[in-house]
A = this chain, B = another copy of it.
Amino acid sequence: MRRHNDIELQLLTNFSYCENCKSQNPCLGGGLNPEERKLFSRAIRHRFTFKMGARIFKVENKFKYLYAIQSGAVKIQTYAYDGTNLISGFYFSGDLIGIESIGDNVYRNDAIALSTTTVCEIPFNQLEELCDSIPALRHEVMMLFAKKIRHTEQAVVHGRHLHAKLRLLRFLQYLYEQNGVSRADGSNRVLLPMSKGDIACYLGLCPESLSRALKKLEKEGVIRNRSKSIELLDTETYSELICEENRY
């Protein structure tokens, strides 16, 4: 048995996962015609569901697959020389994970489910072959890579120069764009499937500093800090803050 923590839901017959995909955000294949989409869909032979805390792939394991998150949330984490965790990102429904390991023989990091998470397994070599026969897919994949490059560069370039408070705000804004829930009363809520400690690590802060940053923002009336979610009370001061005092 290749894995321990997962339950394989369905095996390939003539069934297509893609055609029955209920995900709000499709991972790939949105720009394909039905014919092409069918071809692409055939490459996806397995769909797995992981419990919270289970590893979707492990660092140093042989790299073979990308995984499209159908539902749930995932954190990607590596380890420093001394063993401390380093979190390089959080991913949600519609995201493709494993991209950072392309070009290596092994995964460069662990992917850990933050809640019950369902993923589709995409064999990378088959994806490459499909790219050669389906130009639209090739384009889509390249644009996906390009988006990742843009996003990561952004994170590097700005992240280095920002105060804790600002990094946190940008992160919340990002989460809100991904997952945000607007409510009738005008307040907006971001659910946090990850721990505060993970967020701190992702932002390059110690947990204590994150805690203090959250508190400061709460005092200023910008957010309301809950245990598993954060309410964004005032999106205006918000954007102002990000624009104004953005430098170190």
- List residues of chain A with CB under 8 Å of any chain B CB: 78, 80-82, 84, 86-88, 99-104, 108, 128, 131-132, 135, 138-139, 141-143, 145-150, 152-153, 155-161, 203-204, 243-244, 246-248
Bound form: Cα–Cα A94–B96 in Å: 30
What would be 12 A-B contacts, judged by CB atoms less than 8 Å apart?
A80-B161, A80-B247, A82-B247, A86-B157, A99-B146, A99-B149, A100-B150, A102-B146, A108-B150, A132-B135, A160-B160, A161-B204
Main secondary structure of the interface of A (DSSP, over half): helix
Q: Which chain B residue has the least Cβ–Cβ distance from A141?
A: B142
A246 touches B80 (CB 8 A): yes
- What are the residues of chain B within 8 A of A143 when measuring CB–CB? 102-103
B156 touches A145 (CB 8 A): no
- What are the residues of chain B within 8 A of A101 when measuring CB–CB? 150
B81 touches A243 (CB 8 A): yes
Q: Given A84-B247, A88-B157, A156-B155, do A138 and B132 touch, yes or no (CB 8 Å)?
A: yes
- What are the residues of chain B within 8 A of A81 when measuring CB–CB? 243-244, 246
- What are the residues of chain B within 8 A of A87 when measuring CB–CB? 157
- What are the residues of chain B within 8 A of A103 when measuring CB–CB? 143, 146-147, 150
